[in-house]
Chains A and B, each alone.
Chain A
Amino acid sequence: MSPPPPAPDVAPAWALRSRGLHRHLGQDEGRVHVLKGVSFEAERGQVYAIVGPSGCGKSTLLYLLGLLDRPDDGEIEINGRRMSNHDDAARTAARGEHIGFVFQFHFLMLEFSALENVMMPMRKLGRLPPAAMRERAHALLDSVGLGAKTHRLGTQLSGGEQQRVAIARALANQPAILLADEPTGNLDVRNSNLVFDLLTRLAKDNGQAVVLVTHNPEIAQRCDVTRPMRDGLFV
């Protein structure tokens, strides 16, 4: 594992920065050039919407920015540290510490309660003692309106409630960056608004950069910055 370079003394204004990202998907004849040199920057306390038609590369970009995938070319900086060339262990550590994810399909671990789901990233990071982890998880679930359902299993929660737990979980380690892939895509209008408001309010309160991919123009309009994409490039 190559050690990540030391963090700069002064935190940069950009929580996330990428330059010239290229990514191909598929193999042989099915190989598609999905991202064609995309550059993107996200500032703390700002909410960004990446919009565009299906297949334009929005989600692929989001997974690259979240270090879940590797670019074929280009650079990614998280909190001023260049991460795109690091090995899996360093990228995983950076994910755990600096990035929170919210996925379209909630992605809760259904065998665990809401409280345990929220505590899971904290347990891995191990920054807090167990009692403090539990306290923080309770506070986060309170803040997303699920303080009374902390011990319910994922299967015992509605879609909107599961997504709110996912938001609480994404915020568990106080990440600098919150990435959300269609966070409201599977929810009705009421729950969509609720989830979006939660995301933006909590992120603003904590000074986090929020990047969300969405097809919903109303949601996109309410973001600080909207970046439309087409054919693997921002337009």
Chain B
Amino acid sequence: MTSPNLRIAYRFLTAKKRAMVMSLSCTVLGVGLFIVTQATTSGFERFFTKTILGINGAIRIEDKIQDTMRSMAAAGGGDSHFARRDGVKYIEGIEEPQALMAAVREFANVRGVSAVVRGNVQLQSAFKAEDAQVFGIRLEDHLRVSDLAEQVTNGSLEDFRNSPSGALVGRVLADRLQLAVGDSLLISARGASRRVQVAAIYETGYREVDKTNVYLHQPEARSLLKRPSGATFLQISLHDPTRAPQDAARLEQVLRHSVKAWQEREKTWLAVFRALRISTMITVSVFTLIASLAMFNTLAMIVLEKTKDIAILRSMGYERRDVTRIFLAQAGIVLAVGAVAGALLGAAVTWLVSQVPLPINGIFKTDRFIVTWDAAHYAGAVLTAVVMVMVASLIPARRAARLEPGDIVRGTAQ
């Protein structure tokens, strides 16, 4: 330490241990709490987003849009007519999926696109019957728009790939029907029945999906659902899923089909997470405010206790700005130590929280509390601490600098 101001600041601070511990505690807890709340709040949200993107992709194109026009005869007689757009009508499904897929692939942000044929079916195992939905897919296409490869828990995707009459069955559905890999089941739809073999069992963690969805090869599904052409929807994955709403709007405009981004599809759950985030933010803000006030109080007390020292320093030639710097340096030391210690505390608590058993199976599947490790959280926490400490220290530091040495000496001497 070469700067006399920094040396004095350090000594002032370490001499007042209680005040130093108080200031440090405020900073450490502020930084730590910020990191932990960010890690835990965004952990579940990100995991949910990953889950639903892994199932349904970032964008779905369904139903063709057809403008409904009203035509009227123009006034004044004659053959003149004018037309007016009256609304939109949706024609179910995709008529020409290949042409549409080719057009979709032209969009820069599109990573993959998969045409899916969907239909309601009844499944019959040796033990039980269940209603379900069949999804006819081209496996290679669908692997580019979903996490199906990672979701297989029993059997192998390779078996499904090599078996034209193979089926991928959801975990919950398989349990209900008491199915295992290699078992056969009867699928019935529209008066026709077909026997398929369970090639693999998958689990997305989203219970509704695992309870109803059965994946078949598309030719098999077309045959079963008596749908030789077209598709029910196109599932699209994006390089940057956060841009899905903008891409969806553009796709809808260009392709004249109903296009939905995942943010719109899952807006209910996203609203829940947003509410949770706001609630957490309010908690953190209130704590930060209280911590700032406590710190302000502590630093103001140090200034009050140090008025005599300020007079000594001023009498020795230390300028007002030196006094400001000394008290700001105290805050800076607290900030530097508090930020590092707070980040370590935040990381430690985040790790501990991530070890807490918390079985959830509904909108995603986890056995433990989910946290996110993100450098941005640490940067945000440090930035918040900088603002908190500087705001809390600036007023006491400026007050210290404004003190007149003559007044202090006169007051102390009397």
Contacts and interface: CB of A to CB of B under 8 A. Distances in A.
Interface in A177-193: 181-182
A103 interface: yes
Given A68-B314, A111-B11, A89 B413 contact: no
B376 to A, nearest CB: 40
A59 B413 contact: yes
Contacts of A156: none
Contact of B316 (A70, A95, A111, A181): A95
Given A109-B309, A120-B4, A63 B317 contact: no
Contact of A101 (B11, B12, B309, B315): B315
B317 A121 contact: yes
A-B complex: 3 closest residue pairs judged by Cβ atoms: A96-B317, A69-B406, A111-B15
Chain A interface residue bracket vs B: 20 to 34
Contacts of B316: 95-96, 101, 120-121, 124, 169
A111 B12 CA distance: 7
A112 B11 contact: yes
Interface string A110-144: 11100000001101110000000000000000000
B318 interface: yes
Interface of A: 59-60, 63-64, 66, 68-70, 88-89, 92-93, 95-97, 101, 103-105, 107-112, 120-121, 123-125, 169, 173, 181-182
A172 to B, nearest CB: 8
B4 A123 contact: yes
Nearest to A98: B317
Given A69-B410, A120-B8, 13 more contacts: A59-B410, A63-B410, A89-B319, A92-B314, A93-B319, A95-B314, A96-B317, A101-B315, A105-B412, A107-B308, A109-B309, A120-B4, A124-B318
Interface of B: 4, 7-8, 11-12, 14-15, 308-309, 311-320, 322, 404-407, 409-410, 412-413
A105 B347 CA distance: 50
B317 A125 contact: yes
Given A69-B406, A107-B312, A92 B319 contact: yes
Nearest to B317: A96
Contacts of A89: 319-320
Contacts of B314: 68, 92, 95
A93 B320 CA distance: 11
Contacts of A105: 412-413
Nearest to B10: A111
A68 B315 contact: yes
7 contacts: A64-B406, A68-B315, A92-B317, A97-B317, A105-B412, A169-B316, A181-B413
Contacts of A88: 319-320
